């Protein structure tokens, strides 16, 4: 699994509105430095790091707290730290617990906070009673404080309140939820729009929205056409429509796949800057004329070139599909208010992100209403799904009868 994906999963975890305070053990290929850099780039969190130091004589947790104390600049915390240094074993438990609470309160004054445990060891190296103290201290804080640590010891089991989180792939119980959150981007590579594309990607990452884009997700020897069809069947697609997009066979083939499936108005999030092509009947004629010319060129090439012409025939089939879809596509472009291009990409595409999150929240709520937890005494539920076109129907953990019309 690539690291870009894992960074997105980390962002989704941290930006989840339901995120609760706790101890999180991360299964990931990311280095501590990569995690540190990524979280620091997100202004939604206060980032604090502390080292877990392996020791044969001292206490790992106490050394960790002492390190955090030096970042606090707080008289009460400094006094507790000094007491800890000279306390006997009986008093250490009380002082350590009090110090943990005071440190967490100090870091929680500015909202959400992430405390990142660094080093060659992980949570499993902390004594159980010290983990209990830290967990209890987190429960004393009203604000959200997430303590994260990457997994280094894969043999020692953790206590139940330590949340094991894999960034390497989907949790099977979250397949549909993640599918709803995933956004594909259909666009034409063009250096004139690099700034706009970067703004959109920053917005998605900042808001914890998992996205798929060709430069990131089409790997060496992957099937490009298969990926284009995947875009077409996606639940959410950002269509970045520019003049070069309208004359790109790959982009317009993605368009045909998108419009082949139902519910375009709810699935597509357009970002449009088509100049100099007008968004009216004259613009439609210009694009139709362009693709009609491409069809003529391809047809002539098939008749005149030696060999089987399989590739040219496949391109001709794409062009035919584009021409057939142009009227529906143009009707959509003309009748949907896509807003100002500048407004849509300003502030890391904030307006676009707001709309994506609104639709995702609505679809997630609809999904939760449909999925009914079945107990032994509950009646069998009949669920009806209406499917339009060729788009596949996904059903997860169904109990009862499904009628598909």
Q: In angstroms, what CA-CA distances link 316 with 23, 95, 225, 244, 381?
A: 56, 76, 15, 19, 48
Average pLDDT over residues 53-64: 88
Angle at 2 between CA 173 and CA 364, to 5 degrees: 30
Examine residue 314 and state whether it is found in any structural domain, yes or no: no
Alpha-carbon span 61 to 162, nearest angstrom: 15
Is residue 321 included in any domain, yes or no? no
CB atoms < 10 A from the CB of 223, how many? 10
Q: How many Cβ atoms from other residues are within 10 Å of residue 171's Cβ?
A: 11
Take residue 301 and report the two structure tokens written for it.
Answer: 């090439």
Q: What angle do CA 326, 329, 330 make, to 5 degrees?
A: 85
pLDDT of residue 178: 46
Q: Are residues 180 and 250 in the same domain?
A: yes
Measured CA to CA, the distance from residue 270 to residue 259 in angstroms comes to 13
Residue 173 confidence class, pLDDT cut points 50, 70, 90 = very low
Q: Are residues 212 and 283 in the same domain?
A: yes
pLDDT at 153: 79
Most distant pair of Cα atoms in the chain: their distance: 94
Residue 376 lies in a domain: no
Cβ pair 12, 79 in contact under 8 A: no
Residues 199-243: pLDDT tens digits?
999 999 888 888 999 998 888 888 999 899 889 989 899 999 999
Tell whether 10 is covered by a domain: yes
Does the pLDDT value for residue 403 go beyond 60?
Answer: no
Assess contact for 381 and 372: CB atoms under 8 A.
Answer: yes
302 within some domain: no
Question: How many domains is the chain built from?
Answer: 2
Sheet hosting strand 268-273, strand order edge to edge: 211-212, 183-186, 237-242, 268-273
Same domain flag for 107 and 141? yes
Residue 249 CB coordination number (10 Å): 14
Burial class for 202, CB neighbours closer than 10 Å (0-12, 13-18, 19+)? middle
Domain boundary among 139, 169, 199: 169
Domain span at residue 55? Answer: 3-169
Average pLDDT over residues 119-136: 89
Q: Which two tokens stand for residue 117?
A: 């445990």
Same domain, 128 and 208: no
The verdict on 87 and 30 lying in the same domain is: yes
Q: What is the pLDDT of residue 143?
A: 87
What is the pLDDT averaged over residues 71-100? Answer: 90
Mean pLDDT of the chain: 85
What is the residue whose two structure tokens read 């139902």?
Answer: 262
Question: Does 124 share its domain with 184?
Answer: no
Q: Is the pTM of this model over 0.85?
A: no
Distances (CA, A) of 174 to 203, 345, 375: 23, 30, 20
Q: Are residues 186 and 73 in the same domain?
A: no
Which among 136, 153, 169 is the end of a domain?
169
Average pLDDT over residues 255-275: 92
**How many CA within 13 A on the CB side of residue 189?**
5
Whether residue 193 sits in one domain with residue 164: no
- Between residues 390 and 98, the one the model is more confident about: 98
Domain membership flag for residue 297: no
- In this predicted model, which residue has the larger pLDDT, 173 or 153? 153
**What are phi and psi for residue 347, nearest 5 degrees?**
55, 45
Tell whether 249 and 181 lie within a shared domain. Answer: yes
Q: Which of 100-114, 136-150, 174-188 is predicted least confidently?
A: 174-188
Once rounded to an integer, what is the mean pLDDT over residues 100-116?
Answer: 88
Domain boundary among 126, 154, 169: 169
Q: Are residues 162 and 242 in the same domain?
A: no
Residues 6+ apart with CB under 8 A from 133: 61, 93, 96, 97, 100
For residue 67, the 8-state DSSP code is H
pLDDT score, position 175: 40
Contacts of 294 (CB under 8 A, 6+ apart): 249, 319
pLDDT for 280-302, tens place per residue?
A: 999 999 999 999 999 999 999 98
Query: What is the domain-level CATH number for residue 88?
Result: 3.40.50
The answer to the question of residue 47 being in a domain is: yes
Alpha-helix runs per DSSP H in 87-163? 89-107, 128-138
Q: Which two tokens stand for residue 347?
A: 């502030």
- C-alpha angle 203-236-223 in degrees, rounded to nearest 5: 100
Give, as one character, the DSSP assignment of residue 160.
Answer: T
Name which residue leads in pLDDT, 372 or 297.
297
Q: Any idea what the CATH number is for the domain that residue 196 is in?
A: 3.40.50.10140
180 and 164 part of one domain? no
43 and 155 together in one domain: yes
Answer yes or no: is 323 within a domain. Answer: no
HSE-up of residue 40 (Cα within 13 Å, Cβ side): 9
Using a pLDDT cut of 90, give the percent of the chain over it. 52
């Amino acid at each position: 699994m690539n690291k870009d994906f894992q960074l997105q999963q980390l962002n989704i975890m941290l930006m989840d509105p339901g995120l609760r305070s706790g101890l999180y053990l991360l299964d990931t290929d990311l280095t501590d430095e990569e995690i540190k850099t990524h979280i620091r780039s997100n202004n939604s969190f206060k980032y604090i790091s502390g080292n877990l130091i392996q020791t044969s004589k001292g206490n790992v947790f106490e050394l960790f707290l002492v390190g955090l104390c030096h970042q606090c600049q707080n008289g009460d915390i400094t006094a507790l730290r000094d007491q800890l240094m000279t306390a006997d074993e009986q008093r250490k438990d009380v002082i350590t617990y009090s110090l943990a609470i005071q440190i967490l309160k100090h870091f929680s004054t500015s909202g959400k906070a992430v405390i990142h445990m660094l080093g060659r060891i992980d949570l499993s190296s902390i004594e159980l009673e010290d983990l209990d103290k830290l967990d209890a201290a987190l429960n004393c804080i009203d604000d959200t404080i997430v303590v994260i640590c990457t997994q280094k010891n894969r043999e020692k089991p953790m206590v139940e309140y330590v949340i094991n989180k894999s960034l390497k792939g989907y949790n099977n119980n979250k397949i549909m939820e993640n599918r709803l959150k995933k956004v594909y981007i259909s666009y034409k590579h063009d250096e004139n729009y690099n700034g706009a594309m970067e703004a959109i990607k920053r917005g998605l990452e900042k808001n914890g929205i998992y996205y798929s884009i060709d430069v990131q997700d089409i790997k060496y020897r992957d099937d490009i056409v298969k990926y284009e069809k995947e875009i077409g069947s996606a639940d959410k697609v950002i269509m970045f429509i520019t003049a070069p997009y309208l004359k790109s066979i790959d982009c317009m083939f993605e368009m045909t796949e998108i419009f082949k499936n139902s519910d375009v108005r709810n699935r597509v999030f357009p970002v449009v800057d088509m100049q100099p092509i007008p968004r009216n009947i004259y613009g439609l004629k210009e694009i139709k004329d362009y693709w009609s010319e491409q069809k003529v060129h391809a047809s002539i090439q098939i008749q005149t070139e030696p060999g089987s012409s399989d590739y040219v025939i496949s391109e001709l089939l794409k062009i035919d599909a584009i021409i057939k879809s142009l009227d529906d596509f143009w009707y959509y472009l003309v009748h949907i208010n896509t807003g100002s291009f500048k407004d849509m990409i300003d502030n890391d595409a904030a307006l676009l992100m707001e709309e994506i999150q609104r639709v995702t929240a609505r679809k997630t709520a609809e999904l939760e209403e449909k999925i009914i937890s079945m107990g032994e005494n509950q009646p069998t539920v009949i669920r009806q799904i209406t499917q339009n076109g060729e788009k596949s129907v996904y059903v997860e953990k169904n109990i009862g009868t499904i009628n598909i019309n």
